[in-house]
Structure 1
Amino acid sequence: MHDPSSKPTPRRGKVSDPATEIDANSYSAFVVELKRRISEARHRASLAVNHELILLYWGIGRDILARQQREGWGAKVIDRLADDLRRIFPEMTGLSARNLKYMRAFAAAWTDAEFVQRVVAQLPWGHNVSLLDTVKATEKRAWYAEQAIEHGWSRAVLVHQIEGDLFARQGSALTNFSRTLPAGQSELAQQLLKDPYTFDFLALGPDMLERDLERGLIDHLRSLILELGKGFAFVGSQYHLEVGGQDYYVDLLFYHLRLRCFVVIELKIEEFKPEFAGKMNFYLSAIDDQLKHKDDQPTIGIILCKGRNEIIVEYALRDSSKPMGVAQYRLSPALPAQYQTTLPTVEELAREFPLISVVKLRIEIERALRDTMSEHGLLPAKPIGIDNMLRALHERSLAPAGTERFLESLRVMNEAAHGLDVDPESSRRAAEIGAAFLAELTRPL
């Protein structure tokens, strides 16, 4: 019987074990998303501060110019102005007379306010000063400014590209891309090729062999990728192909992240010969057949020669159905023997530049994810990034268990793929996590 003296127990919501109350995968995905949004917001904030500072400097320079022209002020007014401004704003470090002169030169160099807003204000002040100091032609300076933004060049890399006259070399290789690639692909591929390539980080004597050139480029792989340009990810050297029961070896094999295709580079220490094109055509066919993914674009070949005759190149490429180009390279003079010992060893470079293996691993993971998406009928018509593929798999409970841990290392992989500096320990850890995730992703069910 019911005891009337007993007090009813208050009704409460369902109580569950806190450890099982929150879905672990859902929570982890939420944390990863918040980390991404917070990082992006912080990055936007830093960009906004830089943007406003550059616009301020441009405005100050423009006003100084206007006053000097309208009121006839001489150059000495800048020294006086610097003293007054530093007294009013003692905490600001950019108001020296030297910097005010740069502001005036900055405003004189960039008269288009829209271009300043859209492009120049995205660059740090140090980049803009280097452009003022080293590039006088407006068109050329604007090109370097846009390239620095697109490729994320540091100030040192920007100066290096200017000194190497990248503006004149970009898009100058002789190719058959316009005939063998779709319009958009051919234009992008053409612009990515240079002529000549500058391998001034090598010091090889006149008696060098092709294997010496190849070994030198591999030993200086970071410098090679910087010279090749953004998007080149190293796959291997002397890459083995088996065709018809016989062995063949490609000098250098890359994958281009923007073109979405393999790139074969063959090295020659002599003038271009027509038979080089025939051999390259053979390699491109083999790689398209053995390595190319169904979503990849046709493989591109680059023949790097000591020299070339334009007419011979034109004849050699005219009837080829495979996309290839021919470019020259130049080397620095050989170092004296006593300085050879100061060059870094392969082991030292391997320790210093572990990001190459990270980039290669990222490509393999992205390809494996595309395969997984395709197997489950989830692959969209347009390519999507790794983040979106993992999100789509997670929504259908198809994401591997190691997804959360992998996403933490994906940032490092993305930075490496875009040529940014990554510390060795972060690269090593990203490679370790990525390799485990790839093994999990490709493990048979």
Structure 2
Amino acid sequence: MNQELITAVEAIKTAILQSQYQAAKETTRVQLILYYGIGRYLSSKKGKKTWGTSVLESISSQLRKELPGLRGFSASNLKNMRLFYENWSFLEDQKSSDITGELSVSNANSSDASDELTAIIPISDFKLSGINLADFPVEDFFKVPFSHQITIFSKVKNLQERYYYIHRVVEENLQVDTLEILIKKDAYKHQKELPNNFDRTITPASLARKAVEMFKDEYLLDFINVEEIGERDAADVDERVVENAIIHNVKNFIMTFGKDFAFVGDQYHLEAFNEEFFSDLLFFNRELNCLVVVELKRGEFKPAYLGQLSAYLRIVDDKIKKPHENRTIGIVLCKSMNKQFAEYVIQDYDKPMGVTTYKSLSEMPEDMQKVLPDLDDIKKIL
């Protein structure tokens, strides 16, 4: 074995031994720091004539001889370490005190080999070039296991998408296979989050994320309980007849409200302290293990709708929800909304709620229009 190879093995071995002491306390963070440093070292050697494709095999083999029982340092994993560094090395363009010292290894050993390695490993410059570093998920980044890191940097090239999946892994404690499925489905690009307060009102975070994904930001619905607050009168009786007829005719359509939804009823009777109310639609979702109250409104979103829905949720949780079920979720389904305004006002409520919209009959595709009853039929009912 030539001297340069011996030096390389000694350098990596020293770094491993230095990190193992800290690894028991902060396994993932320390592991990533080590792997990034080794990747940086290996990347600096890439391209040298003496560093052909067989070098990583030789280094891995020699490391196993000198550190019996060592795992995670196969030739392929050493290559992944190098790629790990190279995929994030562009963050080093400008200084940042927030991350300085994170991706570094102690200089405890003064041998020539460790001096060579630690001269490369310490990261004093770690900042996005031309990109706001404030967006970089520092804490989450160091909580994502290396196997997940490999999946993210090998399958996702867009920076914001990487951030998204890093957050998802930490928030939901995702397994690698689940992460791969999300990436394959392009979850980042397909996220259309309705205004909601689920992150504050539903725990754990993984359940809150499921709730967000369970509801669409827009539905194809029409003619179902279109009264406005304060507009109830004698004609309301006829409206309910129409509503019941429509629900009967579009039952299959309503059942497509989302995954694992079971339709419980419409105009569901609620009562508290001799006050009676009727929630428009009541569902149960098996995945979320909770009831879902849906209030349908004919016009544009109004803040008052949230107050009404909050009262319904309180009654449902107190009077109807089973002890083993999660908190009831409420959805306001209206014709249109100012999404930013809805997101703004909903944060003041402590009940899990979201706001979404629906398209009118004229805006629906022709095949969907066929599902709904004919307007002439509705006139006959009236």
TM category (shorter chain) comes to 0.3 to 0.5
Instruction: Give the alignment's TM-score, normalised by structure 1.
Output: 0.36
Instruction: Give the alignment's TM-score, normalised by structure 2.
Output: 0.42
Structure having the higher helix fraction is: 1
